[in-house]
Chain A
Amino acid sequence: MGPWGFVFLAYGIVWTVILLYLLNLKRRIRRAEVELVRLRSAEDLERDAKA
């Protein structure tokens, strides 16, 4: 591998890994938000049923 090969390998790995981490983080947040909405609506239903 030539010098530019090593440079592109390093840049490629770094930015791919960071992008994958960012996408994974956003997916985890979305999943948690959906779960929270589900819990909140279940609580509302329970409160309405009691009322």
Chain B
Amino acid sequence: MEPGKQRKGYLGGLALIAILTGLYWGLVQAPPDAYQGEVQRIMYLHIPSILTAYLSFFLVFVGSCLYLWKREKRDDNLAYAAAEIGVLFTALTIAEGSIWGKPTWGVWWTWDARLTLTAVLLLIFVGYLMLRSLLEEENRAATSGAVLGIIGFLDIPLIHMSVYWWRTLHQPPSILRPDKAPWENIHPAMLIALTINFVAFMLLYFYLLSLRFRLGELHDEIKTRRMSGGR
């Protein structure tokens, strides 16, 4: 087996083990929340999902800046791959939040600043993917994508600060607070469940990203061979 494929296999295996451990801690070991009850267990997916989406769009930002600077296809491939996976995790974050919101807030959706800005983030990057698939000229698609990717990333600081700048239904951070250490804000078993799920999502993310990046490389080689062979 090729070393690259073997490494991806190990990463996928590690991700699977971490996901199963995270499920056990999230659904069995962690106690129910004193106020929200069992529904709070959705947070073991919701928080890692949005952090994974943020990381993904940060990579879109980095890849896009590097592409505009150096014009290397590899950087554009990274940005394109990260955008697709970022869209997946943002959509999942909104779905999880909606399912948690119904029993907790009484509504599936509300036009709260943080929720709305997250929906805007999703729409921007769905637009990014559409733009990439619609523009046929490769350099133009990559350049337009890079500009949109950089603009789209600027929504993330707004999402983060929205709970401080506006009166929102979405609560401010309850674990990472400046006044207390994380373990003072949450039951240790809940913190362990959250940490394991975060690690699981990170491993899964890099596994998916490596596969999606490989797909981009394969498409590039196909295009190059077709052009050189006139097929």
User: B22 CB to closest chain A CB, in angstroms?
Assistant: 10
Tell whether, in the assembled complex, residue B27 and residue A29 are in contact, meaning their CB atoms are under 8 Å apart.
no
Q: Is B88 an interface residue (CB 8 A)?
A: yes
Q: Could you tell me the dominant secondary structure of chain B's interface residues?
A: helix
| A49 proximal to B (CB < 8 A) | no
Known: A7-B27, A36-B221, A43-B225. A14 touches B215 (CB 8 A): no
Contact with A along B15-50 (1 / 0, CB 8 A): 000010001000100000000011101100100010
Known contacts A10-B95, A42-B231, then 13 further A-B pairs from the complex at CB < 8 Å, ordered by chain A residue = A1-B103, A6-B100, A7-B41, A10-B45, A10-B100, A13-B96, A13-B99, A14-B45, A18-B204, A22-B211, A28-B215, A29-B218, A43-B225
Q: Which residues of B contact A (CB under 8 A)?
A: 19, 23, 27, 37-39, 41-42, 45, 49, 88, 91-92, 95-96, 99-100, 102-103, 204, 208, 211-212, 214-215, 218-219, 221-222, 225-226, 229, 231
